[in-house]
Structure 1
């Protein structure tokens, strides 16, 4: 009768810790935190539950040795999940106390449950950051693209874009001028292309492109930098300029401006890393 043998390692213990922390975070929040339905409450629960489910899947596949039967690149899938989970849990660790603990008149068990969820969310974010640190490529190491700096930057770019989409859609803040619609087009185009790179790498489909993958990455990175540079300039000018007074939630508009600049810096770093990988190694 075959026995299941657990091969212990730092990575295994970090993943087990992440599974435990996320499980406690969403279980406690769902059980006794008395959260409202919808909005940021559902987002935080999703962050913890999604991270828990995906990490548990990774653990089961690796422990049962099923990597060859999974139709994804196992050199790219686990670290991609870990990076997304780190960002999700980090966002939940910030959002949850701001929306559901700060300035709330809470007493007794409800407040205690919410504090416990926040603490374990922070622990989960730290655990996932540790997993990314353990899994990322070392200098000279041959590994999957998603374990390299450009691959991890792609994950960050898509995550920041998702946050931007949430901020500009509630309320809609890009329909007042054609220039703002251009900014929205920049966010959408760059998000789709970055996500396409992630999917191609995880699905081992990079050879399906009509041009070499390295040239595609270089051209796209340059295009994204130029497009995000225009959005970084245009968004604050047409939202906060004297002739284009802002409308709606000014906090959201400022956050979008900051996140646009952040994504521009991420794409700029991506271009620098990609150029180094493509041209220095040739």
Structure 2
């Protein structure tokens, strides 16, 4: 049974586009999605034409732009054909969930691709294409972020959970966890101490629980839980805050404190001395995980505060 949210009064959510008709493309949201489609298409086309996506960072950027282009195309086709009722996921929740993920994907690509790849390229046609692709990636990021701001829940509206602040925070929490998993993909970063293995367990458990909350809403299956869905959300937020707080203490302590075998200075990591195009050195990975842990802790704190204030109405 789907869950909707209201703060004070229940009103009818206005339609942002005229669906099932070519007129949908002339509406503001339709034009915004066309901009997303074009900008991601141009970005991966520019890079693919000169093969400027070697290494993991280049592959990440290429995957981001291709994935966003493909899913945005699906969203446009579904709306133009009026197939929302036949879509396997909740159309109240899916478009804004995807737009939020796409904005975060394009944001990371717009930062990582130029800093870890483009700046090491020699001047020429390939570098010019890569710079232009980065520009279009930034445009796509702004377009997706604008859609999120445009379609998020307003006070007094009845809408899907994923359009609310806690729903959008769930997207941020899972995305940040995925980036953490990328940085800790090498087991030697956490296998030397049980405390570090606990940190990895924290990232994994919290990610799984947040992903379950998102999937339950996308599948409109919140009623299958043996307890009220709002209680699940509040408990999830509280548990995640406590677990991430422990990880925020333990991860830096064991990686940057000499007493626990850490390296407090970047210069002590020999791998950070070489300016390699496609590699992020170990010390930088550890620091990135520490920063991302703090970001996710703040996200879960905000999630807990908002979840405690929301009133859920089953319809």
The root-mean-square deviation of aligned C-alpha atoms, in Å, is 1.5
1:73 corresponds to? 90
**1:270 has 2:303 as partner:** yes
The equivalent position to 1:168 in structure 2, one of 165, 184, 188, is: 184
The equivalent position to 2:130 in structure 1, one of 101, 114, 117, is: 114
What is the distance in 2 between the residues matched to 1:35 and 1:213? 43
- Contact 1:33/1:113 (<8 A) preserved: no
What is the distance in 1 between the residues matched to 2:190 and 2:139? 37
Structure 1 residues 133-282: aligned runs within 5 Å:
133-170=149-186, 172-246=188-262, 249-278=282-311
2:43 corresponds to? 25
What is the distance in 1 between the residues matched to 2:285 and 2:23? 47
- Contact 1:93/1:121 (<8 A) preserved: yes
Aligned length: 275
What is the distance in 2 between the residues matched to 1:238 and 1:41? 31
Secondary structure class of the residue paired with 1:169: coil
**What TM-score do the two structures reach when normalised by structure 2?**
0.84
- Contact 2:90/2:219 (<8 A) preserved: yes
What is the distance in 2 between the residues matched to 1:80 and 1:14? 16
My pick for the range that moved more, 38-47 or 120-129, is 38-47
What is the distance in 2 between the residues matched to 1:186 and 1:34? 36
Listed one character per residue, the Cα deviations across residues 247-282 of structure 1 (whole Å, up to 9, x for unaligned) are: 771111011101001100000000000001149xxx
Listed one character per residue, the Cα deviations across residues 190-217 of structure 1 (whole Å, up to 9, x for unaligned) are: 0001111111111111111111101110
What is the distance in 2 between the residues matched to 1:24 and 1:101? 17
The equivalent position to 2:77 in structure 1, one of 16, 39, 60, is: 60
Compared CA separation, residues 4 and 152, structure 1 to 2 (3 A): closer
- Contact 1:76/1:147 (<8 A) preserved: yes
**What TM-score do the two structures reach when normalised by structure 1?**
0.94
Structure 1 residues 39-54: aligned runs within 5 Å:
39-54=56-71
